[in-house]
Amino acid sequence: MRVFFHERWPALALGALLLGYYLYPLAAMLAATSPAEILAALGDPQTLSALWVSLATATVTTLLALLLGVPLAWWLARAPLPGRRLLEALILLPLVLPPTVGGVALLQVFGASSSLGRAGASLGLPLTRSYLAIVLAQLFVASPLLIITAQAAFSQVDRRLEQASRTLGVGPWQTFFRVTLPLARAGILAGALLTWARALGEFGATLMMAYNPRTMPVQTWVDYLSRGLSSALPLAVIILAIALIAVLSLRALAGKEARQHER
């Protein structure tokens, strides 16, 4: 059925309000920051350190989430229903909890006075105020995104293709690596990108687990508190640029996945 423009414009008008609401503050932020200020910020060792900490921890978090999350996502996509629903709810929990609540829970387990925290410290692996602490916080908050996205990707893989592979003499492991994984790859990468972006932006749980070393969001917050809004702007713009690249890559991947599944 053809939908005429005049039938759609109320939807567009309401949506435009919301889109404007997204764009206006970001544009205002950009307008208030000069390229010179951004360059100056990038020359500041504190900013550079925060940028490095953020990029490094988000990447390690994503790799860990891939390693542990992809098998779980595959299992969920193939699991019988009763157990699956319960696990799916459990996986959503860190996503819907306020990150500070995640932080409280994590500190309870990994904090300096906890037994795990003490054990880590005695082995020279402090579980708070360290890179590892940041990764722990990010993994808790961001990895569900990978599981959910990868599960959806695995569910889209036609099971008959896996069956066909088996009847062609190829065992279950090889079938996974030669059929299932390649067909779900675009979706898994999209999940990894979402996880990476979410880990990069993680603030609440990270702040509680590791005030130092400082990630970009924590540094932005510290700059704002100590020196005012204008000094937080350059960092905010840098984070915005990274997020924009991540989002655009995600759209490109989604397009690729759609082409993969067309018959």
By CB under 8 A, name the binding residues for other proteins: 158, 160-161, 163-172, 178-179, 182-183, 260-263
Q: Judge residue 49's burial from the number of C-beta atoms within 10 Å of its C-beta, 0-12 exposed, 13-18 middle, 19 or more buried.
A: middle
Give the distance from CA 245 to its chain's centroid: 14
Residue with smaller CB distance to other proteins, 129 or 256: 256
C-alpha 202/C-alpha 33 separation (Å) is 23
Among left, alpha and beta (phi > 0; psi -120 to 50; other), residue 154 is alpha
- Of 227, 229, 207, 230, whose CA–CA distance to 217 is shortest? 207
**Cα–Cα distance for residue pair 30/66, rounded to 1 Å:** 34
Give 6 or 263: the residue with its C-beta nearer to other proteins.
263
In the complex with other proteins, the residue whose CB is nearer, 162 or 223, is: 162
**Closest approach of other proteins to the CB of residue 111, in Å:** 47
Cα distance between residue 73 and residue 79, in whole Å? 10
Closer residue to other proteins, CB minimum distance, 108 or 174: 174
The least CB distance from residue 219 to other proteins, in Å, is 43
Closest approach, Cβ 148 to other proteins, in A, equals 23
- Shortest Cβ 190–other proteins spacing (Å): 16
